[in-house]
């Protein structure tokens, strides 16, 4: 019995030592994405590329004291893809962020002193043909109060964000053409450290 226990222990040690070199490292590969719906279009629109990058510094003037103006960094989140009817699109969210690590917040046109705010959401649609035609739309002036860009989740270690957005956009060349964006969900968007 004692000899059997010794053999089992010896085999366990040999098995442990021989398997030690076979350790596999697994890393998760994340792909950023955006899907959204536009009223009057089916099915949903999806992005196949994105960029999220900081731009210039901007000063936001506040009407009330004690702080009259605050410096933010303007950031651009640009999604590219193909619309359900085969046109190329580029959806850009322009948001002014403070110099801080935690950027989880719902950004609107109503700027928060310690969080920043939503500057604009725009859409460019490219229609192939001869000549190529473009439609550009931006947040409708009377709908700015309803537009939002929300960062719901953030992984500071992986530098990834996820969230949602929504807006009503008016075509710049044809103001009667409106794009109502809803059910917009983005995930696994990598960002550059802000501070």
| Interatomic CA distance for residues 98 and 128, integer angstroms | 39
Q: Rounded to two decimals, what is the model's pTM?
A: 0.81
**Sequence-distant (≥ 6) Cβ neighbours of residue 72 within 8 angstroms:** 57, 58, 59, 60, 96, 97, 98, 116
Mean pLDDT per 10-residue interval, the chain, length 195 residues: 60 56 54 92 91 94 81 96 93 95 96 95 94 95 97 94 98 92 96 69
pLDDT given at position 191: 87
In Å, how far are 91, 92, 133, 137 from 128, measured between CA atoms? 18, 20, 7, 18
Question: What region does 156 belong to: left with phi over 0, alpha with psi -120 to 50, or beta?
Answer: alpha
Query: Which is nearest to 35 in space by CA: 185, 164, 147?
Result: 185
Place of tokens 């860009």: 149
pLDDT given at position 66: 72
The 10 Å Cβ neighbour count of residue 104 is 13
pLDDT given at position 13: 61
């Amino acid at each position: 019995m004692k000899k059997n226990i010794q053999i089992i222990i010896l085999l366990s040690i040999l098995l442990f030592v021989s398997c030690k070199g076979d350790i596999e490292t697994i890393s998760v590969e994340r792909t950023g994405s955006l899907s959204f719906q536009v009223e009057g279009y089916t099915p949903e629109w999806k992005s196949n590329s994105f960029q999220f990058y900081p731009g210039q510094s901007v000063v936001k003037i506040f009407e009330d004291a004690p702080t009259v103006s605050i410096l933010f960094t303007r950031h651009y989140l640009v999604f590219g893809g193909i619309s359900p009817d085969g046109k190329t699109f580029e959806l850009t969210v322009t948001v002014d962020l403070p110099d801080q690590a935690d950027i989880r917040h719902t950004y609107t046109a109503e700027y928060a002193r310690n969080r920043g705010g939503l500057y604009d959401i725009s859409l460019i649609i490219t229609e192939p043909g001869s000549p190529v035609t473009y439609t550009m739309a931006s947040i409708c002036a009377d709908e700015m109060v309803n537009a939002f860009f929300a960062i719901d989740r953030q992984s500071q270690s992986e530098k990834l964000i996820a969230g949602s957005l929504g807006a009503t956009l008016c075509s710049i060349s044809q103001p009667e053409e409106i794009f109502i964006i809803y059910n917009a969900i983005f995930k696994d968007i990598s960002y550059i450290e802000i501070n």
